[in-house]
Structure 1
Amino acid sequence: MKSILVHADGDNAMEARMQVALDIARVTGAHITFLQAVSFEVFAPGDFYGSAMAAAMPRIREAAAEVRERITADLENEDVNWEWKFLYGMAEHRLMEQSALHDLVIVGPHDVGEEGTRRPSSMAGTLALKAPVPVLVVPSETKRLDLTSPVMIAWNGSSEACVALRAAVPLLKFDSDVQLISVAEEDDKDRFDFPASEGAKYLSRHDIEAEIVEIPRGDAKISDALFAAASQRDCSMMVMGAYGHSRLAEMLLGGVTRRSLTDPKLPIFLAH
């Protein structure tokens, strides 16, 4: 991966995703683009003439400049190639547009202005579904990403899991401890379009050895079982196929992707 796109904002997960991007860039020799997107699409009830918006615009610009100055001051001391790009518009839209010439998009676990909520990031989900590149969701507690530490591939035998596995190969090749982990369920016989052995065989052709592991679900949600397994194995990242069911079904009924993004315990690498 030689071109990384990072959502630049003043949220509490910004430091985490910046450090993760720097860790990846140091190992892979990648260039990082920090994209700051600012929208003036402020809805003020009764503000028919835009007076409230006009009054807010200078402060919005000032806040954006403060974020840029603070982050770029830290980046000046780093030994990687980077650039800062500022665009007007919704962050989700601008990241989608700019992803066309990047290899990876890094975002936080919450939408802009929704820190502290228990809702999964709509932006992360949309990018995972529609962007032409994988998305790495980095929670605020992440200190760094060691590409040589264990990595979990959450395997459910779906085509989405296969896509995520293939997309992660450029990062997995630095790791000597890759684990293909599936959660045992009662309807196993209907579950695997692609057995874990096929995933491991594909990785072996890229000189990546993977251990196949099946864990019991018990009474836990699948997402919780996966996070527990990742914690027990000191995994630095989870690779996951995004939205194996339809996005609407996951929104209405819940699903592994949605629940995992609601409160991610480690960086989650998503592709669809």
Structure 2
Amino acid sequence: MKSILLHVDGDRCMEARLQVALDLARASGGHITCLQAVSYEVFAPGDFYGSAMAAAMPRIKEAAEELRREIETDLANEDVAWEWRFLYGMAEQRLLEQSALHDIIIVGPHDVGEEGSRGPSSMVGQLAIHAPVPVLVVPGDTKKFEVTAPVLIGWNGSPEAATALRMALPILAKSSQVYIACVAEKNEKSFYDFPPTEAAIYLSRHGIEAEVISIPKGDAKIADTLFSAAQMRDCGMIVMGAYGHSRLAEMLLGGVTRRMLSEPQTPILLGR
């Protein structure tokens, strides 16, 4: 992951994802592009002539400049290559545009103003569905990102899971242990487009040995089961496809993905 695209904004997870970006850049000899986007789309009820937007923009710009100064001061003391890009527009759109020449996008689980919401970030959903590169979602309590830590791959045999695995190869190659985890449903004969053994064979061709583990679902949600399995094995990241069983509408993430992104307990790398 040589070219890292970092979403910059003033949410509570900014420090965590900055640290993850730095750790990943050091491990790969990579470069961080800090992308800060400010939107003109500030609305207020009855503001037909844009007066509220005009009044709000100076303060929004001032806050953006203050955040930039803080982060650039921190980056000046780090031993990684970086640059700053300031763009006007919606963050998800600018991140999608810039992702074409990057290897990974790093974001938080919730955008500004979304903290405390029960569902996953709409921005994360857009990026996970449309970005041509993997999206790494970093919880706010993440202190560091050990690239050599074990990694758990949430495997349901779908094309999305296979794509996520393939996108994660540069990080998986540095991991000390890779687990391909399948959660077995009760009284259900599992059907896989791609069995976990094929995923293990694919990784072996890239010099990565993986252990396939089957986990009984029990009464817990699949998302909670995967988080528990990752924590038991000291995993530093979970890799998974951006869809679950539901593919009815591209704006809605599948059930398992949606639940995991609502309250992530470890960094999650998404691909599709």
Scaled by the length of structure 1, the TM-score of the pair is 0.96
Equivalent residue number for residue 249 of structure 2: 248
Structure 1 gaps, min length 5: none
Residues 212/167 of structure 1: CA separation in 2 closer, same or farther (3 Å cut): same
Q: Secondary structure, in 3 states, of the residue corresponding to 2:49?
A: coil
Among all aligned residue pairs of Structure 1 and Structure 2, give the percentage whose two residues are the same amino acid: 66
Asked if the contact 1:176/1:208 (under 8 Å) is kept, the reply is: no
Q: How does 1:86-235 map to 2 (within 5 A)?
A: 86-186=86-186, 188-235=188-235
CA deviation vs aligned residue, 1:201-238 (integer Å, no higher than 9, x gap): 00001100101101111000100100011111111000
- 2:191 & 2:251 partners in 1: Cα distance? 17
Structure 2 gaps, min length 5: none
Asked if the contact 1:16/1:141 (under 8 Å) is kept, the reply is: yes
Residues 251/129 of structure 1: CA separation in 2 closer, same or farther (3 Å cut): closer
Equivalent residue number for residue 267 of structure 1: 267
Residues 83/229 of structure 1: CA separation in 2 closer, same or farther (3 Å cut): same
* Partner amino acid, structure 2, of 1:95: L
Displacement of 1:248 after TM fit?
A: 2.8
Q: How does 1:44-123 map to 2 (within 5 A)?
A: 44-123=44-123
Displacement of 1:56 after TM fit?
A: 1.2
- 1:32 & 1:249 partners in 2: Cα distance? 29
- 2:249 & 2:191 partners in 1: Cα distance? 21
Asked if the contact 2:126/2:251 (under 8 Å) is kept, the reply is: no
Q: Secondary structure, in 3 states, of the residue corresponding to 1:100?
A: helix
CA deviation vs aligned residue, 1:165-208 (integer Å, no higher than 9, x gap): 11000111111211111101136534211111100000001100
- 1:235 & 1:251 partners in 2: Cα distance? 27
- 2:123 & 2:63 partners in 1: Cα distance? 22
* Partner amino acid, structure 1, of 2:23: D
Q: Secondary structure, in 3 states, of the residue corresponding to 1:248?
A: coil
Displacement of 1:131 after TM fit?
A: 0.7
Asked if the contact 2:173/2:207 (under 8 Å) is kept, the reply is: yes
Equivalent residue number for residue 236 of structure 1: 236
Q: Secondary structure, in 3 states, of the residue corresponding to 1:128?
A: helix
Cα RMSD (Å): 1.5
Residues 250/93 of structure 1: CA separation in 2 closer, same or farther (3 Å cut): closer
Displacement of 1:53 after TM fit?
A: 1.5
1:38 aligns with 2:38: yes
Scaled by the length of structure 2, the TM-score of the pair is 0.96
- 1:98 & 1:251 partners in 2: Cα distance? 23
Displacement of 1:30 after TM fit?
A: 1.0
Q: Secondary structure, in 3 states, of the residue corresponding to 2:213?
A: strand
Q: Secondary structure, in 3 states, of the residue corresponding to 1:182?
A: strand
Number of residue pairs matched? 271
Asked if the contact 1:155/1:181 (under 8 Å) is kept, the reply is: yes
- 2:116 & 2:68 partners in 1: Cα distance? 23
Asked if the contact 1:250/1:258 (under 8 Å) is kept, the reply is: no
CA deviation vs aligned residue, 1:100-121 (integer Å, no higher than 9, x gap): 1101000000023211222201
- 2:190 & 2:218 partners in 1: Cα distance? 19
* Partner amino acid, structure 1, of 2:192: F
Asked if the contact 2:154/2:180 (under 8 Å) is kept, the reply is: yes
